[in-house]
């Protein structure tokens, strides 16, 4: 799986949009971009994933650049409960045995 690069930490204000960048310049054509987050002492929570089109669900939006070498996770209205470590992962999809390789992630602190 392609490696990803994320900033180690970032702060954002409660109520504002949080934009989390991820670089995956070596991504292959059959690799999807997945985002998970881990709140302290809990298991990771699935947020969203995409291949090349922008995606939106009830939690967040995922914007993938046209060349697919980077993406941005957008939390539209950050709350204090969004404080967590956010992981951007790229992986091949098609067989359930494909692994998730977690990097360091971005530690997001939402401040009042």
Smallest separation, CB 21 to other proteins (Å):
18
49 part of the interface to other proteins, by CB under 8 A:
yes
Single out the residue of 29, 43, 67, 81 in contact with other proteins (rule: CB under 8 A).
Answer: 43
**Rounded-to-integer distance, Cα 44 and Cα 28, Å:** 25
Q: Tell me if 20 sits within 8 A of 72, measured CB to CB.
A: yes
Identify which range of 5-13, 17-25, 29-37, 69-77 contacts other proteins by CB under 8 A: 29-37
Q: What is the DSSP string of 3-69?
A: --B--SEEEEETTS-EEEEEE-TT--TTEEEEEEEE-TTS--EEEEEESSS-EE-SS-EEEE-TTSS
Smallest separation, CB 106 to other proteins (Å):
12
Single out the residue of 44, 62, 73, 90 in contact with other proteins (rule: CB under 8 A).
Answer: 44
Give residues in contact with other proteins (CB under 8 A): 32, 34, 36, 38, 41-46, 49, 51, 87, 93-105
């Amino acid at each position: 799986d392609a490696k990803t690069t994320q900033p180690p930490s970032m702060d954002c204000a409660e109520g504002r949009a949080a934009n989390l960048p991820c670089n995956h310049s070596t991504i292959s054509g059959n690799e999807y971009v997945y985002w998970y987050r881990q709140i302290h002492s809990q298991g990771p929570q699935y947020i969203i994933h995409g291949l090349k089109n922008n995606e939106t669900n009830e939690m967040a939006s995922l914007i993938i650049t046209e060349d697919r070498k980077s993406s941005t996770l957008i939390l539209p209205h950050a709350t204090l409960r969004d404080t967590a470590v956010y992981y951007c992962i790229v992986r091949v999809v098609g067989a359930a045995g494909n692994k998730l390789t977690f990097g360091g992630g971005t530690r997001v602190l939402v401040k009042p």
